[in-house]
Structure 1
Amino acid sequence: MLKHLDVPLTAIRAFVTIGRHGTFTRAAAALGITQSAVSRHVATLEKAAGIKLFERRGATIALTTAGSQYYDAVKDAVATIELATQQMFQGENSNDRLMVRTSMPSFAMTVVVPMLGAFMAQSPLRVDLITSLSPPLPQDEFDVLITRDLAIPNSESWELLQEELVCVGAPPLVQKHRAQAPHRWPMIATTSRPDILATWAIAKDISPDRLHVGAMYDHLFLAVAAAIGGTGFLVAPQLLVLDQLRAGTLIMLDDQKISSGATYWAYMNSQTQQVQAGRNFCRWLKGMLRTRVTQLANELSEARTK
């Protein structure tokens, strides 16, 4: 009978690594130990279990039936331990990491995350991104807050961009409904931003209660996907649909961009130890956002003149 204390975790990890890589040699290289050490770990495990875990077939090995069952049972647990340990050590070594927090999940998913690779390609910093709708508390750990609806009083801040709204739809839907009065258009709404549809309607001199609202989604990134699929027209911050407008999967129903009255801000956490790194990130983000908007405006203008 297997005794829990008879089996060191290193032996189990060695076993799982062999299962992942298929040979003792590659497992030894992955673990940074000798092949003989890997063999000793397997021998320890097999002795404790009283069963064979591998069949040796010349230069190759294969899991036995019992070995395969054991591998399936423990591989995910070992992977979880390894990942948790790696994340803990990375968290301790915070000098080369920047934790960015945002209260805007759709903005993070569609705008910030796709741009992070470009930032990390030019910077030694690794960026960790977390989302939270709650106001930050003094004990919360983060370096930079990107937000539209929150604030950190008495902290260094950067005005990134003023929000502008556009009405977009899939090309076939636009072609079908463009000649109709706007209050007859099938519209998409989001529970996370109920304000933007009303703001757009008022600017268009349309009573919001006359709008024909069909599909409703929790977040704007879901509504964008629905608009691409032709579910209806969507009023969204221009920043969130830049790539779709550039690709032509969504088009604007008209050239009008309507100010929502909101502004995107970046705040430095006054408790951060990454002051200069945070400033560099905020400066880079502000420049990238404004460049993206300007480039799209130029591209759309060129397309209309052709």
Structure 2
Amino acid sequence: MRISPLPPLPCLVAFESAMRHGSFTRAASELHLTQSAISRQVAQLEHFLGKKLFIREPRALRLTVSGQAYAEEVQRLLAACAEATEDVMKRKGHGELTVACSSGVAVLWLTPRLPAFRAAHPDVHLRLLVNDSLASLAPAEFDVGMYYLREGPPPGLASRRLYDEEVFPVCAPHYLGGRQLAPAELAGETLLTLEDGQRQWMSWQTWLARNGVADARAPRKLVANQYPILLQLAMEGQGIALGWRHMIDRCLRERLLVRASEASATLGGGYYAVWPQARAEGAAARLFRNWLAQQSTAEQ
């Protein structure tokens, strides 16, 4: 059902404020606009209605008969809209939080750290949304996200860089018997490879090229479409995977994985906190964003 006729919302807001203050100047101050902008919006509304709403006197505004009747309805409807909006925000909750991230971030970085966040903020009701493609998520689906990005976030999202990218090969401690290989030697090993659809991430071919190995064609590859699976295969001694610093730090500390080479590479990307740019931020989202920033600062 199309709602018609419906005037522009900014015009209604300007009219309501001017009516309440009896002044375009004071309405402009309240709405952080210029006096001329308020005057234009009210004039636009009058043109839309085909009725004069104000009698403009030298030092004051006075409502016309039509303006008085319209003002009562507009004020009631705007108040109801504001109340309904506040109710939805409260229901979604200053204590409710949807966090979006890739499977790699969820398994390797976020899950081990969440107990500390939940212990510090027990009133936050957390929902974890795992999706490897940030571009496929609508801003309405989440409050805060953590993703690897090469060139900044998609339109409609704000961002803060948390970690710089550093990529190096890793394997199980027994796989190379404690040896580390030069980049050219790695091409002869079984390379655990993220499938072509995940091109936001660095590929083996790119990593080898960045380390001076041109046109390297690995004779043996094992391909998977999720990064945590590749790391699990590496832990089981099935080959060598590319490891992203900060994501795999815990695996290195616990000796589940070791570096297979001293060489590393970067494409200039990094891990970012992202959030919807146009939405009013709830208390839980603000807490989580600040917590992400604190975690990254402590681990640099």
Alignment of 1:56-135 (within 5 A): 92=91, 94-102=93-101, 104-123=102-121, 124-132=123-131, 133=133, 134-135=135-136
Give the direction of change, closer, same or farther, for the CA distance of 1:179–1:275 in structure 2 (3 Å limit): closer
Q: In the alignment, which residue of structure 2 is the partner of 1:136?
A: 137
Letter in 1 for 2:228: F
The correspondence for 2:194, drawn from 177, 190, 196, is 190
SS at match of 1:189: strand
Shift of residue 177 of structure 1?
6.4
Letter in 2 for 1:167: P
Shift of residue 154 of structure 1?
5.5
Shift of residue 257 of structure 1?
3.1
Higher helix proportion (structure 1 or 2): 1
Letter in 1 for 2:175: L
SS at match of 1:187: strand
Q: In the alignment, which residue of structure 2 is the partner of 1:214?
A: 221
Deviations, residues 25-44 of structure 1 (Å, cap 9, x unaligned):
xxxxxxxxxxxxxxxxxxxx
Q: Greater relative contact order (Cα 8 A, min sep 6): structure 1 or 2? A: 2
Q: In the alignment, which residue of structure 2 is the partner of 1:269?
A: 276
Range moving further from structure 2, 268-277 or 213-222: 268-277
Give the direction of change, closer, same or farther, for the CA distance of 1:94–1:187 in structure 2 (3 Å limit): same
Quick check: 1:237 aligned with 2:244? yes
Unmatched 5+ residue regions in structure 1? 1-90, 295-306
Shift of residue 248 of structure 1?
0.9
Give the direction of change, closer, same or farther, for the CA distance of 1:242–1:269 in structure 2 (3 Å limit): same
Give the direction of change, closer, same or farther, for the CA distance of 1:137–1:155 in structure 2 (3 Å limit): closer
Shift of residue 205 of structure 1?
1.0
1:190 and 1:152 map into 2 onto residues whose CA distance is: 22
The correspondence for 1:175, drawn from 145, 168, 177, is 177
SS at match of 2:177: helix
8 Å CA contact retained: 1:189, 1:213: no
Letter in 2 for 1:148: Y
8 Å CA contact retained: 2:169, 2:260: yes
Q: In the alignment, which residue of structure 2 is the partner of 1:286?
A: 293
2:241 and 2:171 map into 1 onto residues whose CA distance is: 6
8 Å CA contact retained: 1:199, 1:260: no
Q: In the alignment, which residue of structure 2 is the partner of 1:29?
A: none
1:291 and 1:212 map into 2 onto residues whose CA distance is: 41
Letter in 1 for 2:177: Q
Shift of residue 245 of structure 1?
0.5
Q: In the alignment, which residue of structure 1 is the partner of 2:145?
A: 145
2:127 and 2:98 map into 1 onto residues whose CA distance is: 5
8 Å CA contact retained: 2:208, 2:214: yes
Shift of residue 213 of structure 1?
3.5
The correspondence for 1:246, drawn from 238, 250, 253, is 253
SS at match of 1:161: strand
1:167 and 1:179 map into 2 onto residues whose CA distance is: 9
Alignment of 1:290-301 (within 5 A): 290-292=297-299, 294=300
Alignment of 1:5-16 (within 5 A): none
8 Å CA contact retained: 1:98, 1:274: no
1:290 and 1:143 map into 2 onto residues whose CA distance is: 21
2:221 and 2:178 map into 1 onto residues whose CA distance is: 17
Deviations, residues 149-197 of structure 1 (Å, cap 9, x unaligned):
4724365421111221011111111227646822222211111545331
Letter in 2 for 1:127: L
8 Å CA contact retained: 1:116, 1:127: no
1:235 and 1:213 map into 2 onto residues whose CA distance is: 15
Two-structure CA RMSD over aligned residues (Å): 2.6
- Using the size of structure 2 for normalisation, the TM-score is 0.59
SS at match of 1:291: helix
Shift of residue 92 of structure 1?
3.8
Shift of residue 215 of structure 1?
1.2
1:172 and 1:210 map into 2 onto residues whose CA distance is: 24
- Using the size of structure 1 for normalisation, the TM-score is 0.58
Q: How many residues end up aligned between the 2 structures?
A: 201
